Chains A and B, each alone.
Chain A
C-alpha cells in the first residue's frame, strides 16, 4: 500500500516473473548498484528497501523479489497483497518467460486490478526471442508501462523505478507527468489514482 507522511511515500512493490528472468538482478542493480553474473536463486521471496527522490517527494520502496519457479506460484498472493505496484519481468531471449509474464498480468489484473503494473524485460542485446514490438503492443493493450532494462549494463534500471515512483498516487496531485516514456492506459491510470484512499 502506498502510504503518505508529509512528502514521504512508502510503497510496496513486488517483482514477478519466470525463474531466471532476472528479477533479483534488477533489484540488486537498483538497490546496490551491482551486477553479479550469478547470485543465489531466490526461495520464497527476498525483501529490500530503497528510497528515491521524485520531484516533490521521497518514495521509499519496499520491494519483494519473489521466487519464479511455477510451484512457488501458490505463495505469490502473500507477496503481492497490498502492493502499490508490480514489475513483471521476462527474459528477452526466452519466449517461455514472456508467456509466463502474460499469465502474471492476467492474474494481477483480476485480483489487484487497481494497481500500477509494469512490464520489464532484461538483457538488452541478447538473442531476440521476444520481439520488442510484440511486447510493446501487448503492454499498450493491457495498459502497462513497458520498459526494456538491463541489469548487466544498468540501462534503464533506475528509470523503471523512477517512472513507477512518479506514477504512485499521492494526496496532492502529482506533477504533470510529461516526459513519461511509455504508455499508460488512461482508465487504468485513474483507477490507480484511487487505490490508496
Chain B
C-alpha cells in the first residue's frame, strides 16, 4: 500500500501550474509535434493545437471545480453522496421533491465532468462501491491481500507478465511502487472471483482506477463494483461471452443510429468489432486521452454500462463524412484511431454521445442483450465443438 503523500499526489496535482505552452505562430505553421504530460501524467504526442486544447481543458476543469464548490456551499457538503435516482420512498413529499431536484442537477453536473479531486469520493459513493464495501468487515481487503501473498496461480503469472506492459513509461504506474500496487489489486481480485481470475484488459482499467482513487483499497472496490454490478456479466470470463453479446448489441445500434455508416462499412466488409472490442474491454482507456476516458467513466459509474454504447456510437457519428469516403479497412481504422487519439476535449465527444445519439435506457439495452445471448452462446458452443473435433482428428 502506498502512503497518502506518495509521488502519485505530486505528479497528478491537477491544479498545479504546469507551464503553459503558448506556441508561437512559427511553430504553429511548422505544425510541430510535441510531447507533453496530460492531467494524469500520461505522455501524449500531439501538435501544437492539441496542446492548446489541453490547456483549455485544464481551464474548464478548474471552472467546473468552482461550480461543484458553489453547489456544495448552497446545498451542504456532500449533498451528492445521498442522491440516487429513484430513491427515498420513506421521505415526505417535499423532501422527495428536493431529492428529485438534486438528482436532476447531479445528472447534468456529472455529464459536465467531476473535478479530479472529487472523483474518488463521488465515484466511490455513486457507483455503489461504498455500499459493497460496507457489507463486509473493514479488514476485508487487507485480509485478502495478506492471505494471497506469495501464492502462484495461472492468473498471477499472467498478471506479472502484464505489469510492465501496462501503460509503460507512466511516471507512477511504471515504477516498482506502481507495479506492486497494481499487482495487489489484480491478484486480490483474481482470488475474489475465480471465474474472472485475470483477464487482459483489466490491467489498464485497474491502473486508471488506481490513478484516480489514489488508494489501492478503493481502486479494488471500484473494480469489484464495475465487474459485478455495472458492466454486463461475463464480460471478462472464460470466452468473453458478455463482450460478444455487447458487440452484437452495438452492431444493431449502429445500424439503427448511424445507418449510412453501417451500410458503408458493411460494403467494405469491415466488422466494427475489429476496433470496438478493445473499447468495450478497456473502457476506452487504451484509445482515448486520459481525461476524456475518465469523463466517460464519470457517466458510466452514475448511469451504467449503456453509456459505453453512446460513446462508441458517437465516435463513429463524429466522423460520418470521413468514414463514408473510405475505401478500405485500413482507412477506416486510421480515421477511427486518429479520432480517438486526438479527442483531447471531452465535451466534443460527450456532446455528440448524449445530444446527438439520443438517450437509450438501461432497460432497452438489457432487452437487446437478452435477445442476443442465445445466438452468442450457440456460436461459442459450436466453435468449441469444432475445436474439440479437431483434437480428436489428430489423435
> Which A residues contact B (CB, under 8 angstroms)?
10, 19-20, 36-45, 47, 49, 62, 64, 67, 69, 71-75, 77-79, 82, 106-107, 110
Contacts and interface: CB of A to CB of B under 8 A. Distances in A.
A71 B238 contact: yes
B201 A43 contact: yes
A106 B390 contact: yes
Nearest to B164: A38
**B interface SS class:** helix
B165 A39 contact: yes
Closest CB pairs A-B (n = 10): A44-B277, A44-B278, A74-B239, A41-B165, A38-B164, A38-B168, A43-B201, A69-B200, A43-B278, A47-B333
B330 A62 contact: yes
A58 B201 CA distance: 36
B344 to A, nearest CB: 20
- Which interface residue of A10, A41, A69 has the most chain B CB atoms within 10 A? A41
Contacts of B158: 19, 69
Given A45-B277, A71-B240, A74-B383, 4 more contacts: A19-B161, A43-B281, A43-B282, A79-B274
A107 to B, nearest CB: 6
A20 B165 CA distance: 10
Nearest to A12: B329
Contacts of A45: 274, 277-278
A41 B241 CA distance: 21
Contacts of A82: 269
A20 B161 contact: yes
Nearest to B280: A44
B16 interface: no
A139 to B, nearest CB: 16
Contacts of B239: 71, 73-74
A75 B161 CA distance: 21
B50 interface: no
A106 B390 CA distance: 7
Given A44-B277, A75-B240, A38 B165 contact: yes
A138 to B, nearest CB: 13
